[in-house]
Structure 1
Amino acid sequence: MRKTRKTLGLLALACAGLVLATATAPAALALSTPQVEQGSLVSAKKIKSLSAAEIAAYLRESKFPVPPKAQGADLYAVVYRTVGVDGSPTTASGTVAVPHKSRKDLWTVSYEHGTTATRAYVGSMDEGDGRAVPMMFAAAGFIAVAPDYLGLGTGPGFHPYMDHASEASATVDLLRAARSLATGQGRRLSGDVLVTGFSQGGTATMAVGRQLQAGPGLGFRLRGLAPISGPYEVQHVQFPELIAERLDPRTSAFYLAYWTASMNRLHHFYDSPAEAFQDPAVEALYDGNHTFDEIIAGLPASPLDVLTPKFQQWYLNPSGAVLKALETNDDTCSSWRPRVPVRLFAARGDREVVARNSRNCLRDLRRHGTDATLTDVGDIGHMDSPLAAMPTVLRWFTDLR
């Protein structure tokens, strides 16, 4: 579920008269007429413009594959209108990558990033997979987007970590914003959308697919899903493994505390942090401003030392608010039947998000009759799994197009 800056390193239609920046136009713009509808652009700032040779070098450095016959692309940091977890208007940020040459009937790819508790460690603000992956797909001739999600990047408030409804709505509204940006540059989008994502973004991939398939009025057609190493079953797989200390203890403590602090804001588990955390100061680490290293330094070395005994038992035998939070978000594989192919990826060596999550997701999808497969990318760690999976995802998405 984790994403850090160092580890992944370089790792709605437009209103009449709307004209956005092109490759030769100024690097930044702010739309002069405020929009109120979901997915309307607030601003779009060009943060990269790379030639074919430059993008190939950039992708090689970031360890992502270089598409055959790669073309240059522009990358924008955008701010757009969306809704919060309570349905009220808010804004979110993300990145949009636009290929230099391809102009007609462009397919769109959405990339859902993995866990970060630091608002600055997302594509609109920092180098990492939120920039490299969209540029990879743009080099292959796609329009590509990567949402920061609510409360990260320049989005106000706290990030509702692992809340799949808001991950989906923030992504769909970014797709609308990207359509406006592309249309303003004279590009013609086909409306076909492919979705991939890693870790937290694996479950987000499935949630986005569900929303796109359920909403034909959005003007998009879901074509394929490629989730990587997602925690699809927090209740029955992830929590038991974490609390039994069968996974990496440091990152387990990070995830457990993050999920607790986030879900309390949405489902109200406790009135005081002391009810849930053995050290009540843990909650304040997840304010969006602490770095991963700072959070880890403030956490105990074991997940068993994060929660009070009462909350450990509540998570192992959930009821009430905890059960509602789990059931609301543990259904991205089981609650619907994708009418498009799904290609799951997981690593058998993963000690952060166990591969059994993906095996159970595959089971649920096949029970529904979905065309689904699972690829084991090897005896490697969690953070290596997207790098191992992405060459296959790129080839498959290109073949689907």
Structure 2
Amino acid sequence: MGTMSLRRSTAALLGTGIALGLAATASSASAGTAAGVARPETAPPRGTVVSADRVARMSAGEVRRYLAGDDPALARPGPRFGVDTYRVVYRTVTPQGTPATAAGVVTLPAGHGGVRAVSFAHGTHLARNIAGSVDAEGQSRVAATFYAGAGYAGVAPDYLGLGLGPGPHPYMHAATEAAASLDLLRAARRVASSHRRRLERGVLVTGFSQGGHAAMALGRELQRGADPYLRPAALAPVSGPFDLRDAQLPASLDEDGGLDPKASVFYLSYLFVSWNRLFHLYDSPSEVFRAPYDTSVPALFDGRHADEDVITRLPARVRDLLTPRYVHWLLHPTGPMARALRSADGTCQWRPRVPVRLFAAAGDEQVAFANTTSCLRELRARGARPSVTDYGMGTGHFRSMYRGIPDTLRWFGTLE
């Protein structure tokens, strides 16, 4: 799995849904009515900036060299603006709706006045220190710089539990992916305003792999009116895992289904460890993981291990990782597994009132292309008119990102 060793493009991605929902605010409970009883302090509103530190300033030429160092495709056409990148820590909420903090980057193009935001959600990160708020070469920081060099405000969240965010990352939890993305957009308005920039209301929403799924979740929240100022302007997810139950999981469990088996082992391990925290899928790791992996896998997904370290400690095939009982439970979910999958699927089950283009590759070896065809069906069944760009059988997962990011920019430009 050579591509999985890339730091900027870490491992690929499954996805999740937004059915769990979140509290609309992070306020504390109201106080009692008895005279003399003090009211508890309310938590700061979601999107409040805790800190905003400039971590990079680049001229247009420096932006070009920076992007070319990641992939030449990102430096063509050349950036038109210099940029300032800010590491932002801000208020958001946990899966249970309680107050939390998260981090991300906000990259502003040089200039003054109004600027449209591009929200970019990154793919799967295992180690917290490769997130864009920490790693100067992190996937989301590269993407935010790319869009800012073209004149947009690049807004890229780490999600919960990555970068400078405390606690474990709730992997495959689209509700908090959407919340972290929305709350960073709120924080970005404040950061931009402090530097004489004004974020326009319409947000261009994109993301890669897990981030493609997060992008659809964010778009739905914006259209629902989760923020009175912000709204979606267009959606352009890249290689997203939109249909876990009927597309991604069957392909991952079918060793002749065209997906890289080692990638499937990696993502299923991450999925079970994370979902057990949210849905309690097992009491003992030995229920789901075969020996000897039952004693080692949970500790590997603690946010401190690098992808390369984890991959070398996992088996090459799903059949050597999971017990037959849990393979059957994935394919025939009941109880907590069914609830987990219901929360994961559904990010395409709505009718966007803005342009939608899905970018993906039929040759993707990590996220089944069936996810994209499923999303198209769901959106069209509800009256939307999405389009699709298929990079074909000759393009793999990470190549779809390096083709997709420039293509989303060009597509956004046609809408402007």
Q: Same fold (TM over 0.5)?
A: yes
1:100 aligns with 2:110: yes
Q: CA shift at 1:117, angstroms? A: 1.2
- 216 and 89 in structure 1: CA distance in 2 versus 1, 3 angstrom threshold: closer
Question: Counterpart in 1 of 2:118?
Answer: 109
Q: Deviations over 1:239-284 (max 9, x none)?
A: 1111111321111100011111111111110111111111212111
Question: Counterpart in 1 of 2:332?
Answer: 317
Partner of residue 353 from structure 2, selected from 339, 343, 355: 339
1:352 aligns with 2:366: yes
Supply the distance in 2 between the matched residues of 1:56 and 1:351 (Cα, whole angstroms).
Answer: 30
Residues 134 and 144 in structure 1, CA contact (< 8 A), matched pair in contact too: yes
Residues 170 and 274 in structure 2, CA contact (< 8 A), matched pair in contact too: yes
Supply the distance in 1 between the matched residues of 2:188 and 2:375 (Cα, whole angstroms).
Answer: 30
Residues 35 and 41 in structure 1, CA contact (< 8 A), matched pair in contact too: no
Mapping for residues 209-288 of structure 1, pairs under 5 Å:
209-215=219-225, 217-245=227-255, 246=257, 247-278=259-290, 279-280=293-294, 281-288=296-303
1:122 aligns with 2:136: no
Structure 1 residue matching 2:200: 3-state secondary structure: strand
TM-score, normalised to structure 2, is 0.87
Which amino acid letter does the alignment assign opposite residue 274 of structure 1?
S
Question: Counterpart in 2 of 1:17?
Answer: none
Which amino acid letter does the alignment assign opposite residue 83 of structure 1?
V
Q: Deviations over 1:180-224 (max 9, x none)?
A: 000011112221101100100011010000001101643112100
Q: Deviations over 1:276-333 (max 9, x none)?
A: 1112121111111010011111111111111111101100111111111111111001
Structure 1 residue matching 2:130: 3-state secondary structure: coil
Residues 83 and 109 in structure 2, CA contact (< 8 A), matched pair in contact too: yes
Residues 210 and 338 in structure 1, CA contact (< 8 A), matched pair in contact too: yes
Q: What's the % identity of the aligned pairs?
A: 47
Supply the distance in 2 between the matched residues of 1:139 and 1:265 (Cα, whole angstroms).
Answer: 39
Residues 340 and 371 in structure 1, CA contact (< 8 A), matched pair in contact too: no
Question: Counterpart in 2 of 1:8?
Answer: 9
Supply the distance in 1 between the matched residues of 2:176 and 2:5 (Cα, whole angstroms).
Answer: 22
Residues 119 and 288 in structure 1, CA contact (< 8 A), matched pair in contact too: yes
Q: Deviations over 1:43-75 (max 9, x none)?
A: 112111100111112122222144566110011
Question: Counterpart in 2 of 1:15?
Answer: none
Question: Counterpart in 2 of 1:24?
Answer: none
1:56 aligns with 2:71: no
Question: Counterpart in 1 of 2:402?
Answer: 387
Question: Counterpart in 2 of 1:192?
Answer: 202
Partner of residue 362 from structure 1, selected from 349, 371, 376: 376
Structure 1 residue matching 2:124: 3-state secondary structure: coil
- 210 and 4 in structure 1: CA distance in 2 versus 1, 3 angstrom threshold: farther
Residues 107 and 192 in structure 1, CA contact (< 8 A), matched pair in contact too: yes
Supply the distance in 1 between the matched residues of 2:341 and 2:127 (Cα, whole angstroms).
Answer: 23
Supply the distance in 2 between the matched residues of 1:62 and 1:321 (Cα, whole angstroms).
Answer: 41
Mapping for residues 125-136 of structure 1, pairs under 5 Å:
125-126=134-135, 127-136=137-146
Residues 194 and 225 in structure 1, CA contact (< 8 A), matched pair in contact too: yes
Supply the distance in 2 between the matched residues of 1:268 and 1:216 (Cα, whole angstroms).
Answer: 29
Structure 2 residue matching 1:254: 3-state secondary structure: helix
1:43 aligns with 2:55: no
Number of residue-to-residue matches in the alignment: 374
Supply the distance in 1 between the matched residues of 2:199 and 2:245 (Cα, whole angstroms).
Answer: 39
- 338 and 65 in structure 1: CA distance in 2 versus 1, 3 angstrom threshold: farther
Supply the distance in 2 between the matched residues of 1:400 and 1:104 (Cα, whole angstroms).
Answer: 20
TM-score, normalised to structure 1, is 0.90
Q: CA shift at 1:104, angstroms? A: 2.1
Supply the distance in 1 between the matched residues of 2:43 and 2:323 (Cα, whole angstroms).
Answer: 46
Question: Counterpart in 2 of 1:298?
Answer: 313
Structure 1 residue matching 2:89: 3-state secondary structure: strand
- 73 and 7 in structure 1: CA distance in 2 versus 1, 3 angstrom threshold: closer
Supply the distance in 1 between the matched residues of 2:388 and 2:395 (Cα, whole angstroms).
Answer: 16
Higher mean C-alpha deviation, range 122-131 or range 206-215:
122-131
Give the superposed CA RMSD.
1.7
Residues 242 and 346 in structure 2, CA contact (< 8 A), matched pair in contact too: yes
Question: Counterpart in 2 of 1:171?
Answer: 181
Supply the distance in 2 between the matched residues of 1:208 and 1:36 (Cα, whole angstroms).
Answer: 22
Structure 2 unaligned blocks of 5 or more: 11-41
Supply the distance in 2 between the matched residues of 1:217 and 1:130 (Cα, whole angstroms).
Answer: 23
Question: Counterpart in 2 of 1:328?
Answer: 343
Which amino acid letter does the alignment assign opposite residue 121 of structure 1?
I
Partner of residue 170 from structure 2, selected from 157, 160, 167: 160
Supply the distance in 2 between the matched residues of 1:35 and 1:139 (Cα, whole angstroms).
Answer: 36
Which amino acid letter does the alignment assign opposite residue 117 of structure 1?
L
Which amino acid letter does the alignment assign opposite residue 363 of structure 1?
R
Supply the distance in 2 between the matched residues of 1:41 and 1:131 (Cα, whole angstroms).
Answer: 19
Supply the distance in 1 between the matched residues of 2:379 and 2:75 (Cα, whole angstroms).
Answer: 29
Q: CA shift at 1:105, angstroms? A: 2.4
Which amino acid letter does the alignment assign opposite residue 337 of structure 2?
V
Which amino acid letter does the alignment assign opposite residue 381 of structure 1?
G
Q: Deviations over 1:132-156 (max 9, x none)?
A: 1111111111111110000111111
